């Protein structure tokens, strides 16, 4: 399956709802009126796109199609191009779906450090494995650092992934200081001439002060070993929890200076529209999206393809 087909498959729950909505509401040959638009706006909001984005899409439809005979394909085209615009954002990020390295800030010299954080169970470890696999396949030498020392199972989980991918991993016994694991991971990357080190962390809530301080320490320690690091601080959000992610993102971002979002589990929700809301409300670009549990179910976020997949059948 090609990249776009995988994305489409991952987004099919959301796309199906949008498709049904459009087909229900806008019937070919009818004149498009305010009632149609009001109903469509409600449904967009239900897809978790957020009120502001939903209003913008509906305004665009009003401008272009109100009072005219409905042509479903034209309505789709308007929705898709508006979605593309809303997802694009202002940052200078390269969204090349074919190049897994495109959205990453790489170190000019020495290993690039990627710190990964987020709430429990959002998909951090799985996303790290998927990202490591993408980079490994692109010819990069990757080291993983099993910084979730809180649960022994977490270290095992990442170790299994590293074996499957065929990349290096640094672990310490459970209960160790996660900052020490992060430091050791950076050290290993320097010693072995690795290109990228990806640091896993235990899940934590943005309200847990001690754990947030611990995360801050991990962040600082990395910079001590590798000046300029971490070059990427990725915050993983679970798409199935909808707009809660926005609050998490704001707090985490203050601690690790998040440079990008990974939106996992988009395949598990009919409310994939949340990407639009997140994109609109936050100054942090979405860099990768998780669309399944398999190792190659992580993709570089590409606004144009994402918009196309959202409205495709």
Q: Contact residues for ligand GDP (CB under 6 A)?
A: 118, 120-126, 203, 264-265, 267-268, 290-293, 297
Give 125 or 162: the residue with its C-beta nearer to Mg ion.
125
Q: Please give the C-alpha separations between residue 162 and each of 12, 63, 65, 70, 142, in angstroms, as whole numbers.
A: 30, 52, 53, 53, 9
Query: Which of ligand GDP, Mg ion, none sits in contact with 264, Cβ below 5 to 8 A by type?
Result: ligand GDP
Comparing every residue's Cβ against ligand GDP, the nearest one is 290
Which uninterrupted H or E stretch holds 153? Answer: helix 152-165
- Position closest to Mg ion via CB: 125
Q: Is 83 helix (H, G, I), strand (E, B) or coil?
A: helix
Query: Is the Cβ of residue 57 or residue 298 nearer to ligand GDP in the bound state?
Result: 298
Q: Are 155 and 143 in contact (CB under 8 A)?
A: no
* Cα(93)–Cα(60) distance, integer angstroms: 26
CB of 92 to Mg ion, least distance (A): 31
Closest distance to ligand GDP from the beta carbon of 120 (Å): 5
- Out of Mg ion, ligand GDP, none, what residue 6 binds, judged by CB under 5 to 8 A for its kind, is none
Contact 253, 236 (CB under 8 A): no
Which of the choices ligand GDP, Mg ion, none does residue 267 contact, using the CB cut-off of 5 to 8 A by kind?
ligand GDP
Residues engaged in binding Mg ion (CB under 5 A)? 124-125, 148, 154
For residue 223, give the H/E element and its range: helix 209-225
* Strand intervals (E) in 105-218: 112-117, 142-145, 168-170, 196-199
Residue among 41 and 214 whose Cβ is closer to Mg ion: 214
| Shortest Cβ 265–ligand GDP spacing (Å) | 4
Q: Helix 3-10 to helix 303-311 angle, to the nearest 10 degrees?
A: 50
Min. distance of Cβ 31 from ligand GDP in angstroms?
42
Closest contact distance (angstroms) between CB of 126 and Mg ion is 8
Instruction: Give Cβ neighbours of residue 68 (< 8 Å, ≥ 6 apart).
Output: 31, 32
Q: CB of 86: closest distance to ligand GDP in angstroms?
A: 22
Phi, psi dihedral angles at 46 (to 5 degrees):
-65, -25
Q: Which of Mg ion, ligand GDP, none interacts with 185 (beta carbon under 5 to 8 A by kind)?
A: none
Pick between residue 123 and residue 229 the one whose CB is nearest to ligand GDP: 123
Of 61 and 264, nearer to ligand GDP (C-beta) is 264
Query: Which of 6, 82 has the CB closer to ligand GDP?
Result: 6
What are the tokens at 111? 């290993």
């Amino acid at each position: 399956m090609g990249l776009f087909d995988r994305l489409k498959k991952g987004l099919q729950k959301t796309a199906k709802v949008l498709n049904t909505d459009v087909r229900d509401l806008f019937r070919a040959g009818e004149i498009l009126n305010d009632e149609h638009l009001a109903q469509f706006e409600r449904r967009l909001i239900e897809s978790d796109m957020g009120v502001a984005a939903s209003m913008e899409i509906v305004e665009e439809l009003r401008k272009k199609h109100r009072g005219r005979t409905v042509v479903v394909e034209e309505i789709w085209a308007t929705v898709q191009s508006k979605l593309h615009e809303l997802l694009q954002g202002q940052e200078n990020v390269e969204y090349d779906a074919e190049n897994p390295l495109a959205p990453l800030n790489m170190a000019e010299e020495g290993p690039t450090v990627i710190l990964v954080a987020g709430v429990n169970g959002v998909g951090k470890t799985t996303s790290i494995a998927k990202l490591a696999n993408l980079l490994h396949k692109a010819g990069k030498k990757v080291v993983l650092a099993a910084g979730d020392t809180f649960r022994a199972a977490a270290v095992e989980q990442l170790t299994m992934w590293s074996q499957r991918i065929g990349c290096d991993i640094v672990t310490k016994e459970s209960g160790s200081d996660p900052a020490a694991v992060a430091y050791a991971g950076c050290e290993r990357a320097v010693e072995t001439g690795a290109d990228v080190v990806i640091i896993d962390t235990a899940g934590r809530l943005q309200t847990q002060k001690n754990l947030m301080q611990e995360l801050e320490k991990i962040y600082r320690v990395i910079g001590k070993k590798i000046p300029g690091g971490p070059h990427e601080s990725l915050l993983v959000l679970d798409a199935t929890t909808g707009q809660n992610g926005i609050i998490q993102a704001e707090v985490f971002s203050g601690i690790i200076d998040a440079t990008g979002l990974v939106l996992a589990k988009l395949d598990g929700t009919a409310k994939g529209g949340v990407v639009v809301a997140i994109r609109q409300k936050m100054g942090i670009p979405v860099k990768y999206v998780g669309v399944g549990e398999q190792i190659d179910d992580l993709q570089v976020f590409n606004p144009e393809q994402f918009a196309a997949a959202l409205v495709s059948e």
